[in-house]
Amino acid sequence: MTTNYLLKRVDFIFKNENDWEVILSKSINRAPQELINELISSELKGRGGAGFPTGLKWKLSAEAVNAIKYVICNADEGEPGTFKDREILSRVPFKVLTAMAVCGHVIGAKEGYIYLRGEYHFLRPELNKAIVEFEYYCKEIKFDFSIKIFMGSGAYICGEETALFESMEGKRGEPRNKPPFPSTSGYMGKPTVINNVETLAHTFTIFKYGAKRFYDLGVQYSRGSKLFSVSGDTPKPGIYELELGMSLEDFVEEFGDGDTKAVQVGGASGFLVPRKRFHETAIGFQGKLTGISLPTGGSMMLFNSSRSMFNVLDNYLEFFREESCGQCTPCRVGCQQLLKGIKAVKRGEKNAQYLDKLLRLTETMQYTAKCGLGQSVANSFSSIVENFREEMIY
């Protein structure tokens, strides 16, 4: 099957948010079940990480029995090359706040938190103003929901949902064992919905226009649109909302500088796609064409032929080595071994076959690491080493 999807720009996320009061009032007068069904039929999947169906997530928390529940907006955007959540929070904050409140209505939570990446502290004053206005309106319509901001403190791993809870509880941001999952035991051990900023913004669209408008975009398994942070060797860096399911070839056509050698899809924990596979790669959750998925926040980093893939991998591994929380063996030691390993190969201290040992190691990391960080190191490592083996050795 070789279908080429034309690149289609979409404009939902950043479109005006002035009607948020209406959407909020309307939504909280609908039955939770109805809203859940709406989300489920939209087939919206999380835009922050694993692509978990959002409707199902809300449903599970709604079903959990507890007087106290929480809604958390994950704005810890730390994936290198991703800057979409910042744009959403600065341009259409009310969409996110509204979505959080509607989620509160659906699952029965009265408190929401925004976990804001530490580096984004400059967003805080404006966001606080928005929250004050928002809470004021909630009071007016007698809807009991409050939102607080929690500032991150410079640890990438805190984007991982359970590490984020730990961090909010005043501890080291070390991911927890799962199960239990957040829907039954999240922040403070209470049922919690945690969604990415963009995911929440999309629910606003869905509550406003209905599931169908969203569902009609995209392809099977990957419905709707998504924000992409485009960077690297491109004449047009920036943020673009595009329909899911596009082919990477079309994407490079549009954004490349004419000399694109490879694209890293999904940041450090994503995959590197070499030029020869652009045409068979679709961007979506289950890229049907190749099996490549979009594991993270939508970073698209283009590299032209002047870039060394060894340097890119070296940079990723250094990132992981430092940002791993360090608690579990495969990730803590694995990252160090990978980094030292590729350097040793490059310097000729280890032979080229050592790369195969390292590839097997990444497989073990993928199978055994405690959280998504250690599990996804394999993605960039294997896609870079397999496609640019020569560059690793010479």
Question: Binding residues for ligand FES, per CB under 6 A?
Answer: 80-81
Residue 340 sits in the site that holds another protein (CB under 8 A): yes
Please say which residue, 227 or 345, places its beta carbon nearer to ligand FMN.
Answer: 227
Report, in angstroms and rounded to the nearest whole number, the Rg of the chain calculated over CA atoms: 21
CB of 368 vs another protein, minimal distance in Å: 5
CA distance 18 to 60: 31
Residue 328 sits in the site that holds ligand SF4 (CB under 6 A): yes
CB of 280 vs another protein, minimal distance in Å: 23
* Contact assessment for residue 262 and residue 303, using Cβ atoms and an 8 Å cutoff: yes
Residue 157 sits in the site that holds another protein (CB under 8 A): yes
Residue 371 binding target from another protein, ligand FES, ligand SF4, none, CB below 5 to 8 Å by type: ligand SF4
Distant-in-sequence, close-in-space partners of 50: CB < 8 Å, separation ≥ 6: 295, 372
Residue 383 sits in the site that holds ligand FMN (CB under 6 A): no
- The 3-state DSSP class for residue 299 equals strand
Contact segment (CB under 8 A) with another protein among 21-29, 34-42, 275-283, 356-364 equals 356-364
Contact segment (CB under 8 A) with another protein among 40-48, 65-73, 147-155, 208-216 equals 147-155
How far does the chain reach from its first CA to its final CA, in angstroms? 37
Residue 74 sits in the site that holds ligand FMN (CB under 6 A): yes
CB of 150 vs ligand SF4, minimal distance in Å: 20
CB of 44 vs ligand FES, minimal distance in Å: 27
Residue 79 sits in the site that holds another protein (CB under 8 A): yes
Residue 299 sits in the site that holds ligand FMN (CB under 6 A): no
Distant-in-sequence, close-in-space partners of 164: CB < 8 Å, separation ≥ 6: 72, 74, 76, 115, 158, 173, 194
Q: Which of 128, 184, 286, 327 binds ligand SF4 (CB under 6 A)?
A: 327
Distant-in-sequence, close-in-space partners of 241: CB < 8 Å, separation ≥ 6: 9, 10, 11, 12, 13, 14, 225, 226, 227, 228
Q: Which of 203, 264, 269, 379 binds another protein (CB under 8 A)?
A: 264
CB of 277 vs another protein, minimal distance in Å: 20
Q: Is the dihedral of CA 287, 292, 295, 299 positive or negative?
A: negative
- The DSSP annotation for 199-241 comes to HHHHHHHHHHH-HHHHHTSEETTEESEEEEEEEES-SS-EEEE
Which residue from 393, 381, 388, 313 is spatially nearest to 353, judged by alpha carbons?
393
Six token digits for residue 355: 């790369």
Contacts to another protein from residues 12-51, by CB under 8 A: none
Please say which residue, 157 or 309, places its beta carbon nearer to ligand SF4.
Answer: 157
Residues lying near ligand FMN in the complex (CB under 6 A):
46-50, 52, 74, 76-79, 157, 159-161, 194-196, 199, 371-373
Residues lying near ligand SF4 in the complex (CB under 6 A):
157, 175, 324-328, 331-332, 369-371, 373-374
